[in-house]
Structure formats: C-alpha cells, structure tokens
Amino acid sequence: MITVTRPYFPERQNFDRYVDAIFERRWLTNHGPLEQELTKRLETYLGVKNLLLVSNGTLALQIAYRALGIARMPGLYEPAEVITTPFTFIATASSLKWEGMQPVFTDIDPATLCLDPANIDAAITPRTRAIAPVHVFGNACDVEAIDALGEARGLKVIYDGAHAFGATYRGRSLLSYGDASTLSFHATKLFHSIEGGAIIFKRKEDLERARKMINFGITGPECIEELGINAKMNEFQAAMGLCVLDEIEVNLESRALVWHAYAQALRGNVQLQTRRIGASLNYAYFPVILESESVLLDVMQRLEQEGFMARRYFCPSLESLAFLGRPAAEHQEEDFSTPRIFHSKDIASRILCLPLYAGLEVSEILAAVRIVVDRHVKAA
C-alpha cells in the first residue's frame, strides 16, 4: 500500500551516533545538550529568533496562548474568544477550547484555503482576544492583512504553522509573523522529531515566560514562580530532529520531484490550491479539489483498489462540531449551516490529499494521476 505520507527515516548510523552520546552523558531530558543544539540549528535554518522546543505541536499552541496571556478576561465570566479557521486539523481549535477559550469560526478563501481576512473584522466582539490563522498545506496566509488587523484592533495573532516548516514569504520566514507561530514535528511532517513541536515568539520576554511554563513554572532548585506544565522536548526526540535536519535538503529535493510531477500532470484537469504570490513551496502536501463529494469518494475507492491511500484533509469542517463552538454569527442561535462558513464546508467535502513523501516513484505518481483524472473528467 502506498500511504498518503511516510515518516522520513534518516541514516541509522547518524542516529546511532547521537544516541551513543546520550548514553555516554546519561542526560535524557530537562534542556539537554541535543535539545540546545537543535534549538540553535533550527533558528539558523529557519531564519528566526526566540524559538522554543516543546514535546508536541498541540502543546506548542497551548503554551503560546498562555504565554501571550490571551485566556484571561478580567472582570468577565464569559470565556475569551479567538477567531480561527474551520478548515484545519482539530488541534487548532480543540487546544483553544482545552485552555478555556471559545473558538469563533470565520470562513476561508476558497482559492488559498486559508482564513480570509475580509471575514475577521465583523466577527470581533468585546470578548475577542486573538486571531489564530493557519498556513494550510504550507501556503501563506495573508499575513500582512491579518497582522495589520491584529495591531489595529489590539488583538494577539498566533499562527498555526504546523505545515509551514521552512516556508518563506517575500524572502522572510513565514514563521516570523504575528506575536507567535507554532510548529508540529509529528512523525508525519516534512521535518519531524518523532513527536515534538516549537513556538517562535516575536518578543523575547514571551519566550522567557514560556520557557518557565514548560518546566512546571520552576526556575530554580527551590523556586516555583508560576503555574506551569511539563512540555519539554527530550534528548531522543532532539536526536531524531538533528538527524532529520542533517538530511533536510535530500528530503526536500525528493519531495519536490513528486510535487512537481503531480502539478504538471494535474494542472488544468482538477482544481488545485492557489499559492499566495511571494510565498515559497515546502512540498508538504499535494491537495486536489474534486467536482463533488461523490466524485471524491469514487476516486478514493478506486485509488485504494489500486494500492493508494489518499486522505481527506480536513473533514469535517470544524464549525460542524458542536462541542467546539460556533461560527461567527453574533446574537444568533448556533446555526452550523450559516453561509459565512460556506467555503470551508464545501472544500472539506471534496478535497483529497494524494500520496507525497520522499522516495515515491514517478511511475507510482502517474498511476495515481490517471485514476484521479479519469474519474474527475468523467464526472465533469
């Protein structure tokens, strides 16, 4: 079976070298030398400052929210609101809810698939504390418009950059926008540390506060300064991250071949995500948008019969999950059919990500393409 993705495994000898050093030092966690080395190397590679490694990408979001102080609403009993996209992985919104905040969903741009800034301003209420956009499939949000709106309305901006490792916008790291950006280093990601994540803060004081938080609030042998949690990255995670980073260019080159082979064969035959002008490609995903959900299900079935596992990202559109919250429809009862979420619901019903990982053969790519084009063109 050709899966939708496959974790990148670096050279075993390189990993063994890092692991041997761990055994020699007997330093397993608590800000070890490999975690420190990975922090410095990632800041250099990504072109960012104030990077904090954590144990997974969901905790990266939760720590970012707490470090920026957006959960607290002095004098109000209602939870703080955060405007976000319904077209994303569940953790973007569930991490807000877990931290006691209310996700408020506004619709996406149906071309870029990212949060549409035009919908944000009308959703702002006195309880709104932040905006949490997502760089979907590594495609840049309209960071200039969103950052300007956040500044004008006094709102924090936290980008979920789980897909955006290495991505740039107009020559600048995409992760350097907003008050913070988060990354996921899950095994399925372009860059991974088995599990893991990172936060990139705009301000060093926010980094220092978050650094205390991920170590239970402990700052010394007999000093606990504030409420914290355990979100530290351990040395084995850092070892894998260093190995994958050692081979990142090889990984990217192989993935680029796959991505461009798909693009050349499918462009003009199916709808593809519109890339933001000025944004780089990191070859993280290859989504196709089909004619209808029935066509999508037919394509998925045919692909599976031929040994290909494609996956629906992101279905369902999150505003349909009643336990999360509501669309931006202030003073209305919760109506999940609101036209304000039309595009996300529509795209979620008919988007499919095709297999993409280093080492995928051109013959395999073309076989998948033939199935997609055949079924899509017949349906059209």
Q: Beta strand 102-105 with 326-327: parallel, antiparallel or unpaired?
A: parallel
More confident position, 66 or 332: 66
At 62, list the tokens.
């939760």
Residue 7 lies in a domain: no
Tell me the CA distances in angstroms from 293 to 45, 152, 192, 330, 347, one per residue in order: 40, 40, 32, 30, 9
Question: Are 139 and 260 contained in the same domain?
Answer: no
pLDDT of 325 reads 74
Q: Which of 223, 246, 269 is the last residue of a domain?
A: 246
Mean pLDDT of 370-376: 85
Question: Are 217 and 275 contained in the same domain?
Answer: no
Residue 1 lies in a domain: no
Residue 137 lies in a domain: yes
Question: Are 47 and 129 contained in the same domain?
Answer: yes
Residue 347 lies in a domain: yes
Q: Is the dihedral of CA 174, 177, 138, 36 positive or negative?
A: positive
Residue 5 lies in a domain: no
More confident position, 262 or 72: 262
Question: Are 58 and 107 contained in the same domain?
Answer: yes
Tell me the CA distances in angstroms from 256 to 16, 162, 252, 346, 374, one per residue in order: 28, 19, 6, 29, 24
Residue 4 lies in a domain: no
Residue 227 has pLDDT above 60, yes or no: yes
**pLDDT tens-digit series, residues 120-154:** 999 999 999 999 999 999 999 999 999 999 999 99
pLDDT of 332 reads 43
Question: Are 123 and 263 contained in the same domain?
Answer: no
Q: Which of 207, 227, 246 is the last residue of a domain?
A: 246
Residue 19 has pLDDT above 90, yes or no: yes
pLDDT of 71 reads 77
**pLDDT tens-digit series, residues 145-192:** 999 999 999 999 999 999 999 999 999 999 999 999 999 999 999 999
Mean pLDDT of the chain: 94
Instruction: Indicate if 189 belongs to the active site.
Output: yes
Pick the catalytic residue: 40, 97, 156, 189?
189
Residue 3 lies in a domain: no
pLDDT of 349 reads 98
Question: Are 58 and 81 contained in the same domain?
Answer: yes
Question: Are 238 and 359 contained in the same domain?
Answer: no
**pLDDT tens-digit series, residues 283-331:** 999 999 999 999 999 999 999 999 999 999 999 999 999 999 766 654 3
- CATH number of the domain that 262 lies in? 3.90.1150.10
Question: Are 125 and 261 contained in the same domain?
Answer: no
Mean pLDDT of 9-33: 97
Residue 97 has pLDDT above 60, yes or no: yes
pLDDT of 206 reads 98
- CATH number of the domain that 95 lies in? 3.40.640.10
Question: Are 264 and 221 contained in the same domain?
Answer: no
Residue 56 has pLDDT above 80, yes or no: yes
Mean pLDDT of 344-363: 96
Residue 346 has pLDDT above 80, yes or no: yes
Question: Are 185 and 256 contained in the same domain?
Answer: no
Range of the domain at 35: 12-246
**DSSP E strands, the chain:** 51-54, 81-84, 102-105, 128-132, 156-160, 168-169, 172-173, 180-184, 197-201, 218-220, 223-224, 271-272, 287-289, 326-327, 351-353
Residue 9 has pLDDT above 80, yes or no: yes
